[in-house]
Amino acid sequence: MKTPKSLETLVRDGLIDKVVRPLKSGKEAAVYVVLSEGEIRCAKVYKESNKRGFHKQALYQEGRKVRNTRQARAMEKNSRFGRKQQEEVWQNAEVEALYKLSAAGVRVPHPYNFFEGVLLMELVVDDQGGAAPRLNDLTLTHELAIEYHSHLIKEVVRMLCAGIVHGDLSEFNILVDANGPVIIDLPQAVDASANNNAPSMLERDVNNLAEYFGRFAPELLETNYGKEMWKVYESGNLKPEYILTGNYRQIEKSADVASVMREINDARDDAIRRKYEQTD
């Protein structure tokens, strides 16, 4: 096929030997199957912000590191340079997350290179060597749904132990190869310790998994791993091998209004008594 303009520089510089075919075009990027260093890989070309369909980026950008104060000021002012820097930070988030998660043992596509808005990474394939299907494209048995759900909960725990919350995890960004689920699409990944929205994003990710797999195994709809996972993480006790129950129930005690009023009245009476004692 004709080389897309976005990949011409990488072909000229020898990072890509040949563009084989387009793979998919989504809300954030276009992906191509390429030949690189003699291997079949994929090239993810990020779309410009005005052509991207991803909303509420500000929620995900909180806590992300920038190179210097000049970059931070430009991003705050939303100048032309600032928007360019925002794009750079947005794209780098996925690259950094992939390297970090790959090193932590999470099943994500292995990254190879990132150059001028193009990410070269592993092509996840099925047992026939073709591009692996998305989880959403499969019909699962009850047993396989339980198995995949259990595996992915462990992967989310491993991600959280690495300090990362996916932020947009669902059946649409999980591929399934011959060995099971592989998590993809991480430009919106957030720093668990630096983003105030991380707990709610984690819970939403986990709930998305329960809702999807609950179609095939309804008992999973009753699980509550998100809050339990975050509570253990906050306590500093979360490890990749930590065994969650999924039965977490948040205990909410109703306020004892009568007791509070007694305390207020006692304090008021003490204050009045002290006042009279001072005047005697």
As a whole number of angstroms, the distance between CA 128 and CA 137 comes to: 16
Running DSSP on this structure, what letter comes out for residue 194? Answer: T
Nearest to 6 by CA among 123, 111, 120, 86: 120
- What is the token pair recorded at 48? 């410009």
86, containing H or E segment = helix 80-103
Nearest to 241 by CA among 165, 143, 155, 145: 155
The HSE-up count of residue 2 (CA atoms within 13 Å, CB side) is 2
Catalytic residue among 13, 126, 127, 185: 185
Active site residue 191: no
- What is the token pair recorded at 130? 């073709």
User: CA torsion angle for 132, 136, 142, 145 (degrees, to 10)?
Assistant: 70
18, containing H or E segment = strand 18-25
Catalytic residue among 13, 126, 127, 168: 168
Active site residue 177: no
Residues identified as active-site: 168, 185
